[in-house]
Amino acid sequence: MMAVLRVFLFGIFAIFIGLLFMGIGRKVIARIQLRYGPPFYQAFLDVGKLFARKSITHNFVMDLGMVMALGGLLATMLFVPIAGHVAVKTSTNLIVIMYLMAIGYLGMAMAVAASGNPNATIGVSRALTMMLGYEVPFFTVILGLIIVNGTSSLELISQSQAGSILNWNMIKFPLAFIAAEIALQAMMGEKPFDAMIAPAEIASGPMVELSGKYLGLAFLTHAVSIFVETAIIVNLFMGGASNIFTFVLKQFEIYLITIFIEAVFPRFKIEQAVKFLWTVPIGIAVLQLLLILL
């Protein structure tokens, strides 16, 4: 019973923080664009409004896919240590985390492909291509860290950086951090790697057929993905944290970097994006790997 409650609490926490980040991110972007911007709690209002609306479904696969997307990411969240706490006290294996994360995106792909809109289908095929693009450099980075620490447990990697700031992997392996940051930009689907949602090209792609509660679920999925992805980077490179407040603050720093890049970059075409991801971040990550090995 306690375990179920714990899992539930972790899920709510991830959604809350993710939506808060989304709202603050919108405000930050607005200020960069010399606008006033919506209030920082706008994302909560949006989700509340969307869940109060009537929604259109196309078929059963679409319903299932949306739930699978949110479920997949929430399941990933359970294996990510947050300031030393893990929802399910089994393992915090990085390979498992990366594998589970893909399930969320596959769920989204399933849902929007079932909607039958060509814009959505193009968007989803782009999203999956992009996944292929960013996972290779990210796995190269992870490989280096696993070799150094001799473990694939995210919790142990984060604990090994305890103590001073000089122990952080960010300082010890700056090249790996840069490569991971570029991959993270693509993972979050922020510019210049947002070819999958490109409103001017494919009318917002995957989101085009989602309405009401489905769009609300997509919002929540994005919120959890922000939480999970920033949490992984904080654990890998910034040494986790001793309390939850510091942890969220570190996550926010990482999110702020992606938002700043998002605000001033146009988007790559999908083939340009994958070409970039398979040359620049992989090059940096392999260089770091060689430095570690030699």
Interface residue list for another protein (CB under 8 A): 29, 32-35, 118-119, 122, 191-192, 194-195, 198-204, 263-270, 272
Contact between 42 and 192 (Cβ < 8 Å):
no
Q: Which of 27/250 has CB closer to another protein?
A: 27
Cα–Cα distance measured from residue 291 to residue 294, given in angstroms and rounded to the nearest whole number: 5
Q: Which of 213/267 has CB closer to another protein?
A: 267
Contact between 249 and 265 (Cβ < 8 Å):
no
CB of 190 vs another protein, minimal distance in Å: 10
Q: Which of 28/74 has CB closer to another protein?
A: 28
Query: Which residues sit opposite 274 in a β-bridge?
Result: none
CB of 284 vs another protein, minimal distance in Å: 18
CB of 73 vs another protein, minimal distance in Å: 24
What is the sign, positive or negative, of the torsion defined by CA atoms of 282, 174, 261, 107? positive
Q: Which of 58/172 has CB closer to another protein?
A: 58
Q: Which of 36/60 has CB closer to another protein?
A: 36
CB of 35 vs another protein, minimal distance in Å: 6
DSSP state of 38: -
CB of 16 vs another protein, minimal distance in Å: 27
Contact between 269 and 111 (Cβ < 8 Å):
no
Q: Which of 86/203 has CB closer to another protein?
A: 203
CB of 265 vs another protein, minimal distance in Å: 6
Structure tokens at 250: 């570190």
DSSP state of 79: T
Q: Which of 96/203 has CB closer to another protein?
A: 203
Locate the DSSP E strands across the chain: none
CB of 195 vs another protein, minimal distance in Å: 7
Q: Is the peptide bond before 192 cis (omega within 30 degrees of 0)?
A: yes
Cα–Cα distance measured from residue 203 to residue 151, given in angstroms and rounded to the nearest whole number: 44
CA distances from 33 to 27, 63, 196, 201, 262 (A): 10, 37, 23, 22, 12
Cα–Cα distance measured from residue 218 to residue 233, given in angstroms and rounded to the nearest whole number: 23
